[in-house]
Every structure is written in structure tokens, then in C-alpha cells.
Amino acid sequence: MVVLQSAASIAEVAHANRQIFIKEVLEGPVFKKMVRVIEEAALTGKKQCSFEVFSAESIEVSEVLLDTLHSAGYKTKLSTNGNITITWGKEDKK
């Protein structure tokens, strides 16, 4: 006999595994590369950069990156081809 786990039980499993996935993304090479791209753009005086997400799970990885960027105060725009435009700082008034 097959037993169906309760929705609450499955939700706990999903939450725990989501936390593991988020941790792996934030400790992985994609996040580290994104940080380098932002820092290099800032060092050249830019207030915006574009970052391309390459991954088999690009949608899920992009979601983690976008949530992390938003939490840190960055503005973002996700294009249909998977590029994330990242913006920071105030607009220069001329």
C-alpha cells in the first residue's frame, strides 16, 4: 500500500531542501562571478551591469540571485534570455 504524506510534511521537506539549494547557490561559482561583475563595474564608475546566468536550473538560480540582490538594495530587471540587469546608486543629476 502506498501512503501519501500530509501536505504539512511535504511542505517541511520542500522548505528544508529549498534552504539547502539557496545555500549552495550563494556559495557557488555563479554567485561569486556575479559579485565580481558588480564590483568590477563599480570600480570603473558604473552604476549598472548585466549578468548572464548559465545553468541547467537557470530559473531557480535566477530567483535566488534576484531575491538576494533585492534584499541587498539592488534594482534588477530579468530579460527573456536570462540576463539580469543590476542597478545600484543614485541617478546623477546634471
Q: pLDDT tens, 13-33? A: 999 999 999 999 999 999 999
Q: How many residues does the chain have?
A: 94
The tally of domains found in the chain comes to 1
For residue 1, tell me if it sits in a domain.
no
Residue 49: φ, ψ to 5°: -150, 170
For residue 26, tell me if it sits in a domain.
yes
Which cell goes with 5?
A: 504524506
For residue 51, tell me if it sits in a domain.
yes
Which cell goes with 26?
A: 550563494
pLDDT at 68: 97
For residue 92, tell me if it sits in a domain.
no
For residue 61, tell me if it sits in a domain.
yes
Q: Read off the pLDDT of residues 49-90 as tens digits, 9 standing for 90 and up.
A: 999 887 656 788 999 999 999 999 999 998 887 789 999 987
Domain with 79, as residue range(s), is 7-87
pLDDT at 92: 62
Q: At what angle do helices 58-71 and 29-43 cross, to 10 degrees?
A: 50
Q: How many CA atoms, within 13 angstroms, populate the side-chain half-sphere of residue 28?
A: 13
Residue type for position 84: I
